[in-house]
Amino acid sequence: MRVLVTFAVAAEFAAWRRRHPFVRVPNMPVGLEMVKCPVYRKAIGETEIVVALTGIGAVRARRATRYALGSKPDVCISSGLAGGLKETYGRGEVLAAAQVAELPGKSAVRCDAELVERARACGARVVERFLTSLSVISSSAEKMALGAKGDAVEMESAGVLAAAVAAQVPAVAIRVVSDDAGQDLPVDFNRVLNAKGKLRPVRLLSSIASEPARLRGLLQLAGDSRKASATLAEFLERYIADLAENWKEHEAVAGAAKA
């Protein structure tokens, strides 16, 4: 079985990468859009895991996922960090979405129902909808307002699922909450991060200099994000092992039907 897992940036992948010696894959053939992204591979048992770092945003994620789908996966998992939109979801909680909708107000893409149920069986909390935003949602007031439309907010899953569904690859969005609904982010990450998730040092220092108390908030958020990423890595281990076991049964049934 081959599983494609997408993250926006290397920091989201770091905790899982520390658990296994993932190997960077040489560039695959690019499609008509001439887009490529960093891709890593690791075999765990009989399962081959392919990890793609898509960059930030649904458009980049869709194009990068199209490229990564050249690895011919059996399933696709859009993963990473998310902001909680309801008070009931705490930091470090793993959520699996029944559907994903791109803001503002675009139609939703449903996740594969069987993949969602397997996520529930492995300990994820199944929620109705992730919202894929064009920008980082920084304030608790914005999150609470969006809570009427969805359960968690992130920036890539709609693009990842659109690419996977178009390629007829079963897909699911699974995210871990890094910041809860009542939490204001310490800085405007739309200003201080580039599309690859790397800090713009001058802008970050300027933001901290204007309000030094933001440094403490940044350190707290960084710690929460590291813990959340580690929790997500542990979940992905269980989840993919479960998928592989069920895939064996699926293949056995399919083989018997053909015989």
211-226 pLDDT per residue, tens:
777 777 778 888 999 9
Helices and strands per DSSP (H, E), number in the chain:
8, 10
Residue 174: is its pLDDT beyond 60?
yes
Please tell me the distance from the alpha carbon of residue 224 to that of residue 174, in angstroms, as a whole number. Answer: 18
- What is the amino acid identity at position 78? S
Q: What torsion, rounded to 10 degrees, do the Cα atoms 6, 81, 134, 62 define?
A: 10
Q: Which helix (H) or strand (E) holds 110?
A: strand 108-110
Q: Is the pLDDT of residue 253 over 50?
A: no
Distance of CA 8 to the CA centre of its chain: 7
Q: Other C-beta atoms within 10 Å of 57: how many?
A: 18
At 228, is the pLDDT very low, low, confident or very high (cuts 50, 70, 90)?
Answer: very high
pLDDT of res. 187:
67
If you average pLDDT over residues 194-214, what whole number do you get? 72
pLDDT digits (tens, 9 = 90+) for 116-169: 999 999 999 999 999 999 988 989 999 999 999 999 999 999 999 999 999 999
Cα dihedral across residues 77, 79, 83, 86: positive or negative: positive
pLDDT confidence tier of residue 203, bands split at 50, 70 and 90: confident
Question: What's the pLDDT tens digit per position in 39-75?
Answer: 999 998 889 999 999 999 999 999 999 999 999 999 9
**pLDDT of res. 254:** 42
Q: For the domain with range 2-258, which CATH number is right: 3.40.50.1580, 3.40.462.20, 3.40.50.720, 3.60.15.10?
A: 3.40.50.1580
CB contact burial 207-229 (16+ within 10 A = b; e otherwise): bbeeeeebeebbeebeebbeebb
Q: Which of 172, 171, 196, 186 is nearest to 225 (CA)?
A: 186
